[in-house]
Chains A and B, each alone.
Chain A
Amino acid sequence: MSPLLQAWSAYVRLTVRWPSIASIVPFVPVAAVWWMVTELELFPRVFLPGPVEVVRSFGSLVYKGILPEYLQDSMVRLAVGAFWGIALGIPLGILVGTSQRAHTALWPLLLFFQAIGDIAWLPILVIWFGYGLITMTFVIVYTVIFPVVLNTVLGVRSIPITMHRAALSLGASRARILWEVVLPGALPNIVTGLRNGLGYGWRALIAAEIIVGTSGIGFLMFDARRAGSVVEILLGMIILGILWYIVDSWILAPIERATGQRWGLVTR
């Protein structure tokens, strides 16, 4: 028992020094079990290829240049969608959050259109815009925008009224209240909304690429499915997972934490 315990404590010390190790090492036994299952041929190879094949197909797809191009396509679509989602979502959220009239008029509609969900729009979008970039951008913007708007509204409305009054009595103009009270006060919520929205948008992108796609990681998977090549499907899933893991825990989560620490106190 004691060598095992020693190994564990060494591992813990290692993860304290380099926390990123803790998010990689747990995958080693999973890969090992996967490799063993495929080596023992518990399932037919056609249905469950091993890690070696997946790595090999990764190599060949990178070498052919297909994978980098598809990856780039997916990321560009996500970035464009995220940009428009933010650019439209935050102003709309602030409008709905600050004006009572806009709130009564738009809030129920927002809830309903959020409930329809991105993917249900695909068939009619295909009729309107055909198979292409506009359809996909529309779907992603649609998905990103709702969590951003709803959370912005929540954030704006959770700013204590005393803050407004304090700023007003100190002679702040409307623009300054917007810029120095409303926006910073709502920022933690906005960032949370953005993180949720991108999480949904990411999935919507995959669905859109599967259904209407001509390129991208989702298309890679669906194309492989048509050809019956499980290796490339698995590869696609792994890439999706890793990519989102990186975007979420290295970019979005730190931003969320930072805004929470810097401005989060305002709402309390």
Chain B
Amino acid sequence: MRLRQQLSSAFTFSAPFAVLLVLWALLVPYFNVNPRLFPDLGSVMQAGIEGFQDGSLIGHIGASLLRVAVGTVLALVVAIPLGVAMGVSPVVSSFLTPLFRFFSVLAGIAWIPIATLWFGYGFGAITFIIFNAVFFIVTYNTLLGVSTIPRQVRDAAASLGAGRWAMLTEVLLPGALPNIVTGIRTGLGFAWRGLIAAEMIATNVGLGYMLFVARDFYRTEVIVLGMIVIGVLWLLLDRLLLAPLERATIERWGMVQRA
């Protein structure tokens, strides 16, 4: 029964895409659209198959994902401890909040010009951009999360004899976790866009680069393929990793804040 329900919901979810594909397959040949303006379905599929066979598509995807992973992990390793440390003291956190808001505004794309100047074109610059996009937003959200933990909860833990470590692992981190996870999701959203933009400018491998080079040769089938890959990847990342993570933490620890 449950399987059937899942199947039918999967069907209703994918039906609009099927309609769109059919329209695409029919309309483009019917109106005889110039392939330099918009490709037909067959050539995009062929470009996809070729990309898989000669490994270039896998290479671009791998390069993009690796950059996101490295930048994000580095940012989280620094941002969460920093955010917690700053959020503990209300004086420090109220003083620093505007700073981090300011820098999280710049997150991502605005760093591209200076990053390419500092690190040259390549892996360093792009990782730096992703690091920045995630770092400031996650720090800001951690700061916010820790400083909105109700005073009583911390007092209660302290009066029950919680040491610094217990306070950290059992009060501060769980209390801030919903905010942290929301921050990660937003930050990654900006980082992903920043990645595509940065790859268009500053590198010679990656999805953004693939799109931008294809534009020089009017190879719209590669561009559309790249757009679909970018969309699918982000959808998978967001739906399969980030959204469940967010839901789980909010269900598990979200109540702490409403106390």
Contacts and interface: CB of A to CB of B under 8 A. Distances in A.
Query: Does B associate with A?
Result: yes
Interface of A: 8, 22-24, 26-27, 30, 47, 104-106, 108-109, 111-113, 115-124, 126-128, 200, 203-204, 206-207, 210-211, 218, 221-222, 224-225, 228, 230, 233-234, 236-237, 240-242, 244-245, 248-249
B215 A26 contact: no
Most chain B CB inside 10 Å of its own CB: which residue of A124, A225, A236: A124
A210 B109 contact: yes
A204 B192 CA distance: 12
Given A120-B231, A230-B117, 17 more contacts: A8-B91, A22-B98, A104-B12, A105-B16, A108-B16, A112-B231, A120-B207, A123-B212, A123-B215, A124-B220, A200-B193, A210-B109, A225-B117, A233-B113, A237-B114, A240-B110, A244-B105
B197 A211 contact: yes
Interface residues of B, number: 59
B227 A26 contact: no
Interface of B: 12-17, 20, 36-37, 91, 94-96, 98-99, 101-103, 105-114, 116-118, 189-190, 192-194, 196-197, 200-201, 207-208, 211-212, 214-215, 218, 220, 223-224, 226-228, 230-232, 234-235, 238
A117 B105 contact: no
A105 B16 CA distance: 6
Given A115-B232, A126-B215, A210-B112, A108 B105 contact: no
A224 B112 CA distance: 12
17 contacts: A24-B98, A27-B98, A108-B16, A108-B17, A115-B235, A120-B207, A127-B220, A203-B190, A210-B197, A210-B201, A221-B113, A225-B116, A225-B117, A228-B117, A240-B105, A245-B102, A245-B105
Contacts of A22: 94, 98
Nearest to A220: B113
B141 to A, nearest CB: 14
A228 B114 CA distance: 9
A26 B99 CA distance: 7
Given A123-B223, A210-B197, A26 B230 contact: no
A220 B175 CA distance: 43
A212 to B, nearest CB: 10
Nearest to B39: A124
Contact of B215 (A109, A127, A221): A127
A234 B106 CA distance: 11
B217 to A, nearest CB: 10
Most chain B CB inside 10 Å of its own CB: which residue of A105, A119, A128, A234: A119
A109 B17 contact: yes
B105 A241 contact: yes
Most chain B CB inside 10 Å of its own CB: which residue of A24, A128, A203: A203
Contact of A241 (B103, B112, B193): B103
A223 B211 CA distance: 22
B224 A124 contact: yes
B114 to A, nearest CB: 5
B117 A233 contact: yes
Contact of B95 (A26, A225, A237): A26
The B interface, classified by DSSP as helix, strand, loop or mixed, is: helix
B108 A203 contact: yes
A253 to B, nearest CB: 10
Contacts of A112: 17, 231-232, 235
B227 A121 contact: yes
Most chain A CB inside 10 Å of its own CB: which residue of B105, B200, B234: B105
A117 B113 contact: no
Contact of B200 (A23, A119, A228, A241): A119
B189 to A, nearest CB: 8
A246 to B, nearest CB: 10
A123 B113 CA distance: 19
A32 to B, nearest CB: 13
Nearest to B214: A123
Most chain A CB inside 10 Å of its own CB: which residue of B36, B114, B190, B232: B114
Given A104-B12, A237-B106, A237-B110, A120 B99 contact: no
Given A27-B98, A225-B113, A120 B211 contact: yes
Contacts of B116: 225
Contacts of B110: 203, 206, 221, 236-237, 240-241
A24 B102 CA distance: 10
A248 B105 contact: yes
Given A108-B13, A109-B16, A127 B192 contact: no
A220 B41 CA distance: 39
Contacts of A128: 37
6 closest A-B pairs by CB: A123-B215, A225-B113, A116-B231, A23-B98, A207-B197, A115-B234
Contacts of B189: 200
Contacts of B95: 26
